Structure 1
Amino acid sequence: MAGGPGAYVFGEEEIREIQEVTDAKYLFRYGSLDNPSFKRKVFTFEEEFKKKMGADYCVATSSGTGSLMCCLSAIGIQPGDEVIVPGYTFIASISSIILMNAIPVLAEINDSLTIDPEDVRKKITDKTKAIMVVHMLGNQCNMDEIMKIAKEHNLYVIEDCCQACGASYKGKRLGTIGNIGAFSLNFFKTISTGDGGAVISNDYDMYERAFGFHDQGHKPNRTGVEVGKRSIVGMNMRMNELTGAVAIAQTRKLDEILTTLRTKKAKLKAMISGLNGFKFRTINDEANECATLLTLIFDTKELADAFCAEVNSKTICHSGWHVYNNMEQILNFDGGKRYHKNMLPQTDDILERAVNISVGVVDGGLGSAFGININSTDEEIEAVGNKIIEVVNKLTK
C-alpha cells in the first residue's frame, strides 16, 4: 500500500475520535461551549499539537499548501517580495509564493537534499523578504547556517515541515526554529488525516495574522461574526471536526511512529553500510530526523539508473514530483524571474544520482516505491537489505 506511516497505523483510536463527532452530528470547528454536541476536536488538536512541537501557538488548516500561504501572510509578504526556496521540494512550496503575488527565487540543494546555505547567500537581493527552508524527506536543513544568514540580512525564515513532522534539530522541534512553521497532514506524510495541515509559531502577531488568513480575516477562536475586528482579507482554509478528530489520534501516535521508523531505518542502513558505489545523504541531526526514507547517492548517474532498473524504481530526478525541472507550471511562469530546466546544475547532478528507499513513506512520486514500511518485519527488512547488497555488488564488481 502506498502512503505515509500514519496511514499504516490508522486504527481504533482514530475511529473512536471520529465516532464522537458523527454521534454528535456537529462537524464545524466553531461552536458554543455550552453545546454538548460541540466536541472541540480541532481546538483540541491545536492545543495538543502545539504542546507536542514546543510552540506557543497553532492554527489547524485544510492542507500543507494552505499552511504555507498562512505563513507567508503572517510575515507580511507583499507583491514583488522575493522568497528563496529550494528547487527540490513539493510544488506547493513554490506555488504558495506565487499565489501570494511574491517571487520565488530557486536555490540549490546540497548532499543533504535540503537547501544549500552557500547558494542562499548568492541569491539574496534587496528584494529578498524571506528564506523558505524545506526539511525535505524528513531531514533537517542546516538551521544554524540559515538562521545566521537570516540574522545578517534581516530576513524572515519560514520552515516548510510538511515532510518532517516531529523531527528535531539540536533539541528543538522543526517549525520552532525559524519565525513560523508549516505542516501537512496529507496521506503521504508522517501523520495523516488524508488532507489537512497546521501552522505553529511562538510569535502571537504572526499567529493572529496566520489565523486571520485561514479564516476570512477573523481573530483567533471566534464565537461569532466579529464585525469591526477584522484587519486582513483572508480565505477559508479551516479544518473541520472530522479531520480534527483523526489529527488528535495521529498526533498522540507521533512519537511512537518516529521511534519505530528510526529503529527500522538503522537496521536497514547497518546492513548495507560499507558497500561500494554510493554514499548516504548527509543528515544534519541523524538521531532526530523522521527516518521516513533512506537515500542513496550513487557515484555516477549510470550506476544509479542501473540500480533502479534492477529494483523497479527511479532516480529522484525521474520520479515525476518535487523536482523543479518537472514543474511546467513554474517553468512557464513569468513573474519577475525567468525559470528554465537545468538552471540548478548542482541540484540536477545530485538528483540524477540519488535513489530513495522507502522506510515509512511508500510513494512512487518520491521515487520510493521500493523498500520497507513501518509495519515491516525484521525478515522483510533483511530481504530488502539483501536485495540492495546483491544488486550493488553485481553492479560494482
Structure 2
Amino acid sequence: MPGPGYAFLGTEEAANVEAVLKDWQLTRYSYDKPETTSFVLRFEQAVQSLFDVPHAVAVNSGTSALITALAAIGVGPGDEVIVPGYTFIASIGSIVYSGATPVLAEIDESLTLDPRDVEAKITPSTKAIMAVHMLGAPCDLAALREIAQRHDLAIVEDVAQACGGSYRGRRLGTHGTVGAFSLNPFKVITSGEGGFVLTSDAHLYQRGYSFQDQGWFPLRTDTGDGDILFGLNLRMPELSGAVACAQLDKLDEVLAATRSVKHAVAARIPARDGVRRRTLHDREGECGTLLIHIFDHPADATSVADALGTKTMLHSGRHYYGNMPQLAALTDGTASPAPFRAPGTESKHDYRRGSLPQTDDILARAVAISIGVSDSYLGAGYGVTVQATESDIERAADQFTATVDAVLG
C-alpha cells in the first residue's frame, strides 16, 4: 500500500469513476453538454474552497505542477532557482526544463531548506526559492519568506509530500507565490496520477492555466486578460479528476489517521542519548506520515537501519542529489542530460556528491519510521500502515526501541 490515501479508496471514488464512464466523458471539456460540470473543474473549485485560495489549476502530475508553477512566475534561461539537495528529482528537473539553473542548498535537521544557506546562495540571477516540504513537514516558511521579501524573490512551495499540512494555521501551498502538489500513489491523497497548482494572483493563474493547456486562456476561452503563451498539454484527465474529488473530501480524515498513528508510535519510543527527533517547524501542521530519528553518528544510524531492514535517508534513491547521475552530467559538461538544452550550461556549478557536506552528514544519520507511506525507495521501508492496530504500533515501536538500545548500548 503506497501512501495513506490509497487505504481510503472506496465506494466514493468508484461512484465518481462510474459516472464518468456512464457518458464516456473522458475530458474536462464537455463540448456537446454545456450543462455538465466536469470532475476536474469540480476538483479545482473544491481545492479553492479547502485551501482558501482564489485560483487552482489541475494538472496530470506533480512534475507538471512544478513546471507549470515555474512558467507562471516567468522562470527561464538566465535565472537561478534555489532548491534543496534533498528532494525528489522532479523538483530539480522542473528547473532544468524551464531553462533555468538549479542552485542546490543545504538542509538542516528539519530535513528541509536551511535558511542560512539559502541566503548564502543568492546571486543577482536568483529568481525564486523552491521550498520543498519534505516528508510531510513544513519548511521554515517565516525565515524563507523574510529572505524572499528582502531580495524580491518568488517562493515556489513544493507540497508534493505534504498535501493538507499547514504552517501557523494556514495550509501549505498558500504561503508562497505559487504552490505545487502531487497526487501520485505515494502521496497523502491520490488520483493515481495528477497534481495541482495554487496561487492567489490572477495573472499567475492565467499564465499557469495557459501553459498547461496549449495557451488557452482560463476555462479555454480564445481571448482574455494576460499573456499570450505557447503552452503544453498537461491537463488532468477526467477519470483522475473523479478520483481526486473523492480523495480531497477525505483529506482531513486521512491526516487525522496518520497523525494519530504517528503520535501513538512516538509515545512508545523513549528519548535517550545518542539520537533525537527531527526538528519540526510546526508540530501541529505536519502531516504525520513519517517519524524521523537523527543519530549522533552515521555508523549507529546505519546499524539500526540494517537491523530493521531499511536504510538511512542518504540512500533514498533519487531524493538525494548524490544519487542523481543527471546532476553529475550537468557538472562535468560532457553530456546533456536534458533534451532541448545545450551541454555544459551548468559547468560553473558543482552538483557532485560532497558539494553539500551538511546535507550529506544529516541524511547519513537519519532513519525513518513510515506511518502509512510504504516506499522503500524513499527510505520508508520500516513502519506501520495508516490502519495500524494498537498491537501493530506496539510491535513496531518496541522493535525500534530495542534495536536502538542494542546499537547504542
TM-score (normalizing by structure 1): 0.97
SS of residue paired to 2:367: strand
Pair 1:287-2:299 in alignment: no
- State the match for 1:238 in structure 2: 235
The 10-residue stretch of structure 1 (346-355 or 75-84) with the greater mean CA deviation from structure 2? 75-84
What is the number of equivalent residue pairs in this alignment? Answer: 394
Residues 83-119 of structure 1, C-alpha deviations (whole Å, 9 max, x = no match): 0000000001001000010000000000000000000
Distance 1:236 1:257 in 2: 31
Distance 1:270 1:26 in 2: 49
Contact 2:6–2:185, Cα closer than 8 Å, also in 1? yes
Matches within 5 A, 1:162-241: 162-222=160-220, 231-241=228-238
Pair 1:360-2:380 in alignment: no
Distance 2:276 2:122 in 1: 31
Matches within 5 A, 1:190-339: 190-222=188-220, 231-333=228-330, 334-336=344-346, 337-339=349-351
Distance 1:327 1:34 in 2: 47
- State the match for 1:24 in structure 2: 23
SS of residue paired to 1:131: strand
Distance 1:245 1:370 in 2: 32
Q: Give the gaps of 5 or more residues in structure 1.
A: none
The 10-residue stretch of structure 1 (10-19 or 38-47) with the greater mean CA deviation from structure 2? 38-47
Letter in 2 for 1:84: I
Distance 2:316 2:385 in 1: 19
- State the match for 2:4 in structure 1: 5
Contact 1:27–1:242, Cα closer than 8 Å, also in 2? yes
Contact 2:135–2:162, Cα closer than 8 Å, also in 1? yes
Matches within 5 A, 1:20-169: 20-32=19-31, 34-35=33-34, 38-169=36-167
Contact 1:68–1:160, Cα closer than 8 Å, also in 2? yes
Distance 1:18 1:381 in 2: 34
Distance 1:176 1:308 in 2: 36
Distance 1:231 1:260 in 2: 45
C-alpha displacement at 1:393, in angstroms? 1.3
C-alpha displacement at 1:275, in angstroms? 3.2
SS of residue paired to 1:287: coil
C-alpha displacement at 1:228, in angstroms? 12
Letter in 1 for 2:67: M
TM-score (normalizing by structure 2): 0.94
C-alpha displacement at 1:230, in angstroms? 6.9
Letter in 2 for 1:11: G
Pair 1:340-2:352 in alignment: yes
Contact 2:270–2:401, Cα closer than 8 Å, also in 1? no
SS of residue paired to 1:321: helix
Letter in 1 for 2:167: Y
Distance 1:104 1:153 in 2: 18
SS of residue paired to 1:283: coil
Distance 1:373 1:46 in 2: 29
- Structure 1 runs of 4+ with >3 Å offset: 32-36, 225-230
- State the match for 1:373 in structure 2: 385
Residues 10-66 of structure 1, C-alpha deviations (whole Å, 9 max, x = no match): 111100110100011110111248456x45100000000121112110000000100
Pair 1:388-2:388 in alignment: no
Coordinate RMSD, CA, aligned: 1.5
Distance 1:273 1:58 in 2: 43
Distance 1:66 1:291 in 2: 26
